[in-house]
Chains A and B, each alone.
Chain A
Amino acid sequence: MRPAAVVGTGQTHHAAKRLDVSMAGLCREAIDRAMADAGVDWPDIDAVVLGKAPDLFEGVMMPELFLSDALGAVGKPLLRVHTAGSVGGSTGNVAASLVQSGVHDRVLAVAFEKQSESNAMWALSVPTPFTMPVHAGAGGYFAPHVRAYIRRAGAPEHVGAMVAAKDRRNGALNPYAHLKQPDITVESVRASTMLWDPIRYDETCPSSDGACAVVISAAETSGPAAWIRATAMRTEPTTFAGRDQVNPQAGRDAARALWKQAGITDPLSEVDAAEIYVPFSWFEPMWLENLGFTDTGQGWKLTEAGETEIGGRLPVNPSGGVLSSNPIGASGLLRFAEAAMQVMGTAGEHQVDGVRTALGHAYGGGSQFFAMWVVGSERP
């Protein structure tokens, strides 16, 4: 497998309704920034990979077909990836494999969601035979998992609010974030409306329109590069007897494979920053454990000690994360791109000092699809 690197990243200004642009315009906003960042032009791009979550979220069947002109894909190979909420991460991994395999030299990965075109809550609530309905939306689905985590780990109630306050404050440092709340506090989060006990309004991701793009290349271009040291994807079924939905084995297996491939034996010491898919606050400590940064039941202690803040031992979501911007299909690629930006030193006000190794992480479905990568400053 030959080395590949992220050589450019771009994203849109994320907002609840980007009524100023079409889907094509939204994607192009991210693509143009990524290509300018990489210093490449259309003839330099060999293939395009597009990722997004269910087509029902916009009401268009296979929208990459009508977007092929805007994506710069005409006359080139165009792949459309869809792996539920993890899709942004899978899009990055598939694009990386196109370069690592030697099939292409330079690939454009794009992911988007324009939630204002349709209604995600409706799209997730189409009744299907033999399948448990999710009428309460994703929050209602995940709240029992969070309660189970709190009970198992014996975590104090304020840890979730700490995550939310930290991520929203970080979001205020990110010019592209949907929510910017520099003055948010743990107390104000704890005073916000309870939506799905124990998840409060301020502990919940927004619904965003947005897109993200990265250029992945076999060779460096004009600027800095984030070399892809490892990628991993794992899947398990939504439901079966004895399934651990709080700490799913698919996530643990993916992380183990990822660290092994990257040659990392002690992730907490060796990773300098992490962009982890945290749509509800409590998923920060849950995924810290699932990823192997801490032992089981210990993740909340890292958060509570302030070690996941910018300047802490493992800054988590310096960009503000999914809690600050959630264009669903793009959210995973945003995590991957933000990890690359930390390594490339291009994260601006939310840059963590001295990042040489960073994690990008995404999950989807009923905590059953996992996609992740590790990027580093050194060519492997």
Chain B
Amino acid sequence: MRDVAVVGFAQTPCVRETDGTTNGVEMLVPIFHEVLGSLGLTKSDIGFWCSGSSDYLAGRAFSFVSAVDAIGAFPPIMESHVEMDAAWALYEAWVKLLCGEVDTALVYGFGKSSAGQLRRVMAMQLDPYVVTPLWPDSLGLAGIQARMGIEAGLWDERAMASVAAQSRAAALSNPLAQLSGSFEVDDLLAAEYVVDPLRRHDCAPITDGAATIVLAAGDRARELCERPAWITGFEHRVDSPSFGTRDLTTSPSAVAAGKAAGADGIEVAELHAPFTHQEILLRQALGLGDDVVVNPSGGVLAGNPMFAAGLARIGEAARRVHDGTASKVLGHATSGPLLQQNLVCVMEGRA
């Protein structure tokens, strides 16, 4: 197999609401410009394009069709789209590069959650025959999962608040973060519940945003980037949708993806955990010890652009290889209710 690396990454600021349309064009054009410009490339240098987005988030069919306008796709391009977080578009592009047909790929994801009521929209992901009609919203479901973990002794509200405090503090050095600041755990715990046992700080914010990554293979990667983030393990798995038949206090798909991708010896990990207890759960599932730096960007608790946030985790992790601060990193993405589907991308810098 060929060696493939992340060589470029750009993302929009994470904000509560943008003025742009739900097809993402206004968010995508500036970051395409930024990522291609930083590599000295133009659109005609890109061999394959792949994106991730959701029509239900956009409130319309075919939202990704209009997003193609952000590329200026003429002459025609080789292109594909997944109705998933763009981390899975990155996976499709990685496979395409492994085939050897092309040497470069640009992957992007976008989401404008402000256009609807996110917690209600996400209920549309559940079993349409027996679960969605009850409209269990995403915060309510996460609350059940958090409660089960507390009762099993896997975490408590103080540990959850501590995750939030660390996220906000880390985000102080991330100019694109939506939420940041210095908080005392005791102060956070004094807040009221949003959905018992979740407080506001336990839940990722509603965010509009987009992200993009450029992949390159072999010598092309070495030309474009001084220290490419070589992908050494890229795996994803899915669990059963049935809440009643799986143990909600862990994530078999995250465990399996981490094991297959080789998640040992990791120095920095960016985890896609939209709720504080899920960061603790994922740390355990992926076997990340106390010496692993988790979410130095602040993670999605500091800004959660749906369908781009998983891709952005991989980009943030790759950035630590690009700037030489780490030599083995992990980017994680999740999809579906309560960590149903998980993806792990392990990247390494080489001397």
Which A residues are closer than 8 A to B by beta carbons? 1, 22-23, 54-63, 65-69, 73-84, 90, 94, 97-98, 100-103, 117, 123-124, 126, 128-131, 233-238, 240, 243, 248-250, 253-254, 365, 368-369
Q: Give chain A residues whose Cβ lies under 8 Å from the Cβ of B126.
A: 66
Chain A proximity mask over B231-262: 1 for CB below 8 Å, otherwise 0 = 00001111111100000000011001000000
Interfacial chain B residues near A80, Cβ < 8 Å:
82-84, 88
Instruction: Give residues of chain B (158-215) contacting chain A, Cβ–Cβ below 8 Å.
Output: none
- The smallest beta-carbon distance between A66 and chain B, in angstroms, is 4
Partner of B62, one of A22, A65, A365: A365
Given contacts A55-B83, A68-B239, A81-B82, 12 further A-B contacts (CB under 8 A): A59-B124, A65-B337, A66-B241, A67-B241, A69-B241, A74-B239, A75-B237, A81-B83, A83-B81, A84-B65, A97-B99, A128-B66
Whether B340 contacts A82 by the Cβ 8 Å rule is no
Structural contact, B80 and A61, CB atoms closer than 8 A: no
B interface list, Cβ under 8 A from A: 1, 21-23, 49, 54-56, 59-62, 64-66, 68-69, 72-84, 88, 91-92, 95-96, 98-101, 121-122, 124-129, 131-132, 235-242, 252-253, 256, 335-337, 340-341
- Provide the bound-state CA to CA distance between A74 and B240, in Å: 6
Bound together, the chains give a CA A169 to CA B51 distance in angstroms of 40
Q: How far is it, in angstroms, between the C-alpha of A68 and the C-alpha of B337 when the chains are bound?
A: 13
Cα-based distance from A240 to B69 in the complex (angstroms): 10
Contact A79 B92 (CB under 8 A): yes
Residue of A nearest to B74 (CB): A236
Give the A-B pair count, Cβ closer than 8 A.
183
- CB neighbours (8 Å) of B124 from chain A are 55, 59-61
28 pairs across A/B with beta carbons < 8 Å?
Answer: A1-B99, A57-B61, A59-B124, A61-B54, A61-B122, A62-B83, A62-B335, A66-B131, A68-B241, A68-B341, A75-B252, A77-B237, A80-B84, A81-B92, A83-B81, A97-B95, A98-B95, A101-B95, A103-B95, A131-B66, A234-B76, A234-B79, A235-B77, A249-B74, A249-B76, A253-B76, A365-B65, A369-B79
Whether B61 contacts A62 by the Cβ 8 Å rule is no
Give A254 to B64 CA distance when docked, in angstroms: 20
Decide yes or no: A56 and B61 within 8 Å by CB, A1-B101, A65-B241, A100-B99 being known contacts. yes
The reply to whether A233 and B128 contact each other, CB–CB distance below 8 Å, is no
Query: In whole angstroms, how far apart are the Cα atoms of A196 and B302 in the complex?
Result: 52
Across-interface contacts of A79 in B (CB, < 8 A): 82, 84, 88, 91-92
Q: In the complex the two chains form, what is the Cα distance from A101 to B62 in whole Å?
A: 29
Contact B238 A56 (CB under 8 A): no
Is there an interface contact between B128 and A235, defined as CB atoms closer than 8 Å? no
Instruction: Determine how close the nearest CB of chain A comes to the CB of B49; give it in whole angstroms.
Output: 8
Contacts of A248 in B (CB 8 A): 76
Residue of B with least CB distance to A117: B128
> Which residue of chain B has the shortest Cβ distance to A47 in the bound complex?
B236
What residue in chain B is nearest A257 (Cβ atoms)?
A: B78
Q: Which residue of B lies closest to A48 (CB)?
A: B238
Contact A90 B80 (CB under 8 A): yes
- Which B residues lie within 8 Å of A62 (CB)? 54, 56, 83-84, 125, 335-336
Cα–Cα, bound, A81→B82 (Å): 4
- Which of A61, A90, A123, A237 lies at the interface centre, i.e. has the most chain B CB atoms within 10 A of its CB? A61
Q: Does the CB pair B81–A73 fall under 8 Å?
A: no
Residues in A whose Cβ lies below 8 Å from that of B121: 61
Chain A hits for B96, CB < 8 A: 97, 101
Rounded to whole angstroms, the CA-CA distance of A76 and B49 in the bound complex is: 25
Hey, which chain A residues are within 8 Å of B74, CB to CB? 236-237, 240, 243, 249
* A235–B78 CA distance with the chains assembled, in angstroms: 6
How close is A181's CB to chain B, nearest CB, in angstroms?
A: 30
Measured between C-beta atoms, what is the minimum distance from A119 to chain B in Å? 11
Residues of A within 8 A of B95 (CB): 94, 97-98, 101, 103
Q: Is the CB of A235 within 8 A of B82?
A: no
- Report A29 CB to chain B, min CB distance, Å: 17
> Nearest 4 CB-CB pairs, A to B?
A54-B61, A250-B76, A101-B98, A235-B79
| Contact of B55 with A55 in the complex, beta carbons under 8 Å | yes
Q: Which of B69, B83, B98 has the most CB of A within 10 A?
A: B83
Q: Which residues of B contact A101 (CB under 8 A)?
A: 1, 95-96, 98-99
Point out the residues of chain B lying under 8 angstroms from A124, CB to CB.
Answer: 61
Specify the chain A residue showing the minimal Cβ separation from B59.
Answer: A126
Contact status A66-B127, CB under 8 Å: yes
Could you tell me if B253 and A83 are in contact, using CB atoms closer than 8 angstroms? Answer: no
